[in-house]
Amino acid sequence: MPIRILPEETINKIAAGEVVERPANAVKELIENSLDAKSTSIEIEIKETGRKLLRVRDNGTGIAKAEMRLAVTRHATSKIKDFNDLEQLNSMGFRGEALPSIAAVSKMLIQSRQAGAESGWEISLDGGIIKNEGVWTGAPGTIIEVSDLFFNTPVRAKFQKSETTERNRALQIIEELALVNNNVSFKVKTDKRTALEAPATNDPLVRITDILGSYFSTALIPVNLNHPFLKIKAYITKRENSQPTKKYQFLFVNRRPINFTRPILHSLYEAYKENIPVGRHPGAVIFLEASPSEIDVNIHPTKREVRFSKEPQIHDLLFKCFKEALINSPVSGLNISYHRPEPDGGKNYDVRESSARFSYNENIAKSGILARPESINPTQAELIATTENDASASRIIIGQMCNLYIIAQDKDGLVIIDQHAAAERVRYEKYVTEWMSQHIAIQPLLFPENIELLPSLWTVAIANLDIIKEAGWEIEEFGRKTIRVSAVPAVLGSNINSKNVLQEILESIQNETNMPKPEKIEKIIRTACRSSIKAGDTISTTEASRLIEELMLCKAPNTCPHGRPTMLKLPITELSSHFGRK
Ligand code: ADP
Ligand code: MG
């Protein structure tokens, strides 16, 4: 075959392969054009998967009659004039490819009128070829109607997914664009239903509520930072409102929906570490703004990736912001009833301070989980204190189940607390706080205990004697294979089996020869807390109340130190919808 230049229709049809792989891509392109045209109102109609009909109507600048044909010509754009403009690009589109590509594989009708123009103009195309044009007298703005998408590309048509998949994909794309363009009103009709309606608003949180629902939006904490190279505005879920999936995570960079990059995702999950149970996810709507010179928006029309020139700094900045927001946000929604615990008069064992030397790691201290006690936000304590007198809130402990769970009611619904995990969390934070403030209360044993260990564990004990002492244990070498314990940290309770606990501590650190000391001590503390608490004890209502009170004062009340959840909430709204009480 001799070499020849392809006709424009064929080129466009080929390009359509990249630009409009599926109806959702066409929806995205059309809406982006409306946004670029400064519309304040966009109405979208989707019939079936979007292949039958896609209609986007806006009240933007409109297209001049004389430019109508150019709009569907390849590489014709009003958004840039040369390559230099790319550096300061503010528009969503700029390649001048979308309209001709969509037109090439569909039947398209464009109706448009500029504000102030005497009348508008319309053109219709069939597979990219102009069929008709003439005067149009609609309101200022643009309507683009795409029907029979892929009618002339049977192979592409064959590869389309099911109706619901395609339509949902299109709706997801609209949701994202609507989330970041709160000043624009969006309305979406699918077949005969209104699928989405979001009036224009200046408040991003109102838009989040319209798109993602009030159940989600009331669970959010705002995050704001104006840094010279990065502006952060974000809404992240409170510790107790983690999500079962990653569906509630949105990232926008310079107003474009972007896939999460690894460092950004990492900064988010790191901030929640220990605050949400393993397998749960934070919800987050994150808007970042950076100078275009700091980012490389990989500028393929459908690519959703971005690279920052200062990636590590951005990671740290985000982590700090998220972490701080979480620490400063009081634990809400758990205004559970409790009675003031009776003064603890019953215990008469001698509690004195350990004489061991202490050290702690500033980084651990800064992480928040192990923060010094004075940095605990007073609002947490206040919150619980004020709800004491708040008669309107229902705050009741209902009972205990299987000697494992405390069943309670708060203002939002039912709360089930894992007694064991909760106690572990409380004990852990107390223990860590004592260690960091260098005052571990210790409890001498009535009779010092000689503990015989396997030779392998005995050597671990000997190698770590000082560290274990620093964690509040009074222990010494006592002949071959034996360790003598004469006092244990008081926080572990009066009836611990010191042999078991010590053994588990030694096992937990036996392979950690290179672990820095503060981390090792933290691990000892964590292990000690776990092995000193056993599930299955019956506890009184007073004890349950007190446990919940203490749990709510913790920095990370939602998980045990090993990441297991401490509580499960069943909101009354969920119960009502289950029982059809709407
Ligand atoms: P690009 O968006 O990359 O410029 P498109 O093919 O999407 O390319 O659109 C071509 C041109 O048509 C745009 O540059 C713009 O001038 C015009 N246009 C498209 N849609 C609209 C609209 N809804 N309102 C106003 N102008 C539009
Ligand atoms: Mg475009």
Predicted confidence band at 303 (pLDDT cuts at 50, 70, 90)?
Answer: low
| CA of residue 146 to ligand 2 center, whole Å | 15
Residues near ligand 2 ion, CB 5 Å cutoff: 33, 93, 98
Residue of the nearest CA to atom 14 in ligand 1? Answer: 77
Q: What is the pLDDT of residues 473-506, one digit of tens each?
A: 999 999 888 999 999 999 998 778 888 899 999 9
C-alpha–C-alpha distance, residues 106 and 300, integer Å: 22
C-alpha–C-alpha distance, residues 281 and 218, integer Å: 17
CATH topology of domain 8-198: Heat Shock Protein 90 (3.30.565)
- Say if residue 78's pLDDT is above 90: no
Ligand 1 atom with minimal separation from the 94 CA: 3
Please name the helix (run of DSSP H) or strand (run of DSSP E) that holds residue 328, with its range, or none: helix 311-328
Stretch 31-37: mean pLDDT: 97
| CA of residue 77 to ligand 1 center, whole Å | 6
Residue 228 CA: distances (Å) to CA of 253, 313, 320, 476 = 16, 12, 16, 55
> How many helices and strands in the chain, by DSSP H and E?
19, 23
| CA of residue 76 to ligand 2 center, whole Å | 10
**Domain spanning 219-328: which CATH class is it, in words?**
alpha beta
Ligand 1 atom with minimal separation from the 60 CA: 24
Q: State the span(s) of the chain assigned CATH 3.30.1540.20.
A: 352-570
Mutate which of 36, 70, 143, 256 for ligand 1 pocket (most atoms within 8 A of beta carbon): 36
Ligand 1 atom with minimal separation from the 56 CA: 23
Alpha-helix runs per DSSP H in 406-540: 419-436, 455-463, 465-470, 498-509, 517-532
Residue of the nearest CA to atom 25 in ligand 1? Answer: 62
| CA of residue 9 to ligand 1 center, whole Å | 18
Residue of the nearest CA to atom 15 in ligand 1? Answer: 78
Gyration radius of the chain's alpha carbons: 31
Per DSSP, 331 falls in state: P
Ligand 1 atom with minimal separation from the 101 CA: 6
C-alpha–C-alpha distance, residues 470 and 355, integer Å: 9
Alpha-helix runs per DSSP H in 159-280: 163-180, 204-212, 214-217, 262-272
Mutate which of 12, 70, 77, 302 for ligand 1 pocket (most atoms within 8 A of beta carbon): 77
The closest ligand to the CA of 79 turns out to be 1
Q: What is the pLDDT of residues 357-391, one digit of tens each?
A: 333 334 444 444 443 333 333 333 333 333 333 43
C-alpha–C-alpha distance, residues 484 and 144, integer Å: 83
CA 147-106-101 angle, 5° bins: 130
Strand order across the beta sheet in which 230-237 lies = 220-227, 230-237, 284-289, 249-253, 256-258
Residues 188 and 174 sit within 8 Å (Cβ to Cβ)? yes
| CA of residue 27 to ligand 1 center, whole Å | 13
Q: State the span(s) of the chain assigned CATH 3.30.565.10.
A: 8-198
The closest ligand to the CA of 63 turns out to be 1
Residue count of the chain:
582
pLDDT at 347: 31
Stretch 551-561: mean pLDDT: 87
C-alpha–C-alpha distance, residues 214 and 299, integer Å: 35
CA 560-563-568 angle, 5° bins: 70
The closest ligand to the CA of 89 turns out to be 1
Three-class DSSP category at 387: helix
**Domain spanning 352-570: which CATH class is it, in words?**
alpha beta
pLDDT at 388: 38
Per DSSP, 343 falls in state: P
Half-sphere exposure of 519 (CA within 13 A, CB side): 7
Residue of the nearest CA to atom 20 in ligand 1? Answer: 33
C-alpha–C-alpha distance, residues 46 and 27, integer Å: 9
Residue of the nearest CA to atom 10 in ligand 1? Answer: 71
Q: Which residues line ligand 1 (CB under 6 A)?
A: 29, 33-34, 37, 58, 60-63, 71, 77-79, 93-99, 142
Residues 257 and 304 sit within 8 Å (Cβ to Cβ)? yes
pLDDT at 463: 92
C-alpha–C-alpha distance, residues 193 and 403, integer Å: 50
Residue of the nearest CA to atom 8 in ligand 1? Answer: 96
Q: Tell the residue number behind the tokens 């009003």, with chain if given.
A: 78
Q: Is the dihedral of CA 362, 364, 369, 373 positive or negative?
A: negative
| CA of residue 107 to ligand 1 center, whole Å | 17
Residue of the nearest CA to atom 13 in ligand 1? Answer: 77
| CA of residue 100 to ligand 2 center, whole Å | 10
Please tell me which of 87-96, 125-134, 545-554 the model is most confident about, judged by mean pLDDT: 125-134
Strand order across the beta sheet in which 413-418 lies = 396-401, 405-410, 413-418, 567-571
- Say if residue 10's pLDDT is above 60: yes
Residue 432 CA: distances (Å) to CA of 2, 423, 523, 559 = 79, 14, 10, 16
Residue of the nearest CA to atom 7 in ligand 1? Answer: 98
Predicted confidence band at 396 (pLDDT cuts at 50, 70, 90)?
Answer: confident
| CA of residue 336 to ligand 1 center, whole Å | 56
Any idea which of 8-22, 124-138, 240-254, 511-525 has the lowest mean pLDDT? 8-22
Ligand 1 atom with minimal separation from the 32 CA: 2
- Say if residue 203's pLDDT is above 80: yes
Residues 332 and 238 sit within 8 Å (Cβ to Cβ)? yes
> What integer best gives the mean pLDDT of the chain?
83
Q: For residue 484, what are the β-bridge partners? A: 450, 476
Who contacts 459 (Cβ-Cβ below 8 Å, separation ≥6)?
none
- Say if residue 407's pLDDT is above 50: yes
pLDDT at 330: 66
Q: State the span(s) of the chain assigned CATH 3.30.230.10.
A: 219-328
Any idea which of 44-48, 232-236, 290-294, 536-540 has the lowest mean pLDDT? 536-540
Q: Tell the residue number behind the tokens 């209360």, with chain if given.
A: 441
Stretch 509-533: mean pLDDT: 88
pLDDT at 293: 76
Residue 3 CA: distances (Å) to CA of 6, 14, 446, 558 = 9, 17, 98, 68
| CA of residue 151 to ligand 1 center, whole Å | 23
| CA of residue 71 to ligand 1 center, whole Å | 6
pLDDT at 544: 87
Three-class DSSP category at 504: helix
C-alpha–C-alpha distance, residues 141 and 145, integer Å: 13
**Percent of all residues in the chain with a pLDDT value above 70, rounded to a whole number:** 87
pLDDT at 394: 41
C-alpha–C-alpha distance, residues 91 and 78, integer Å: 10
| CA of residue 489 to ligand 1 center, whole Å | 71
- Say if residue 334's pLDDT is above 70: no
The closest ligand to the CA of 73 turns out to be 1
Who contacts 42 (Cβ-Cβ below 8 Å, separation ≥6)?
31, 34, 35, 56, 57, 58, 184, 185, 186, 187
Predicted confidence band at 348 (pLDDT cuts at 50, 70, 90)?
Answer: very low
Please name the helix (run of DSSP H) or strand (run of DSSP E) that holds residue 135, with its range, or none: strand 129-136
